[in-house]
Amino acid sequence: MKILAISASHRHGNTDAAINFLGKHLVLKGHSFRLIDLKKTNLKFSTGDSNEYYTGKPAVLDEMQEIQKEILKFDLLILATPNYFSNVSALMKNFMDRTNPYYCNHDFKNKKTALLVISASSGKSPKLCLANLKEFCRIHKMVVLNSKILLAEHSADFAKNHKLQKEIEKFADALLVKK
């Protein structure tokens, strides 16, 4: 299976570590894995031009068109974000906004997707963040195979914590079964 992950942390912390760990695990199991780290891209903000929603024509030309093509090529998309104020990170939100032209022709319809939220606390806050990701997928008619909230706060927490790493392995293995 060809798996693409889009990671939206603003620092080199838990989301990066978890997604890289997950990628290595998938490769060990014989799958191909590519990571798009949004902080290394130069995606501009949406201009707020709602025409793109109706015409399918992007109002802003930059790396987003390349990312859209990449998403279409892969069998499974993993979206990973830290929980920021019970929501996705600004990088993830910008990515979501920039998919506006791809709603028009339902480019991402039936795209198999998995969602990962990294959060310091449990409870309502990360659930709200995850709900926003799920709503994004619902609008685009994507198919969410699995989702996970991973609890980690300080930037090296994931790298140091064997239990969290096991949780990610389980998450990856469940995806391979559901594919």
Q: How far is the CB of 52 from ligand FMN (least distance, A)?
A: 29
Query: Which one-letter amino acid corresponds to residue 139?
Result: I
Considering beta carbons, is residue 46 or 119 the nearer one to ligand FMN? 119
Ranked by CB distance to ligand FMN, the top (closest) residue is 13
| Residue 18: its H or E element | helix 14-28
CB contact set of 123 (below 8 Å; sequence gap of 6+): none
Query: Which residue number, 17 or 137, has a Cβ lying nearer to ligand FMN?
Result: 17
Nearest approach, Cβ of 19 to ligand FMN (angstroms)? 9
CB of 158 to ligand FMN, least distance (A): 7
Give the integer Cα–Cα distance in Å for 37 and 108: 20
Query: Residue 137 and residue 135: Cα distance in Å, rounded?
Result: 5
- Site residues, ligand FMN (CB under 6 A): 9, 11, 13-15, 82-86, 118-121, 125, 152-153, 155
Report the distance separating Cα 17 and Cα 120, nearest Å. 15
Residue number with CB closer to ligand FMN (86 or 165):
86
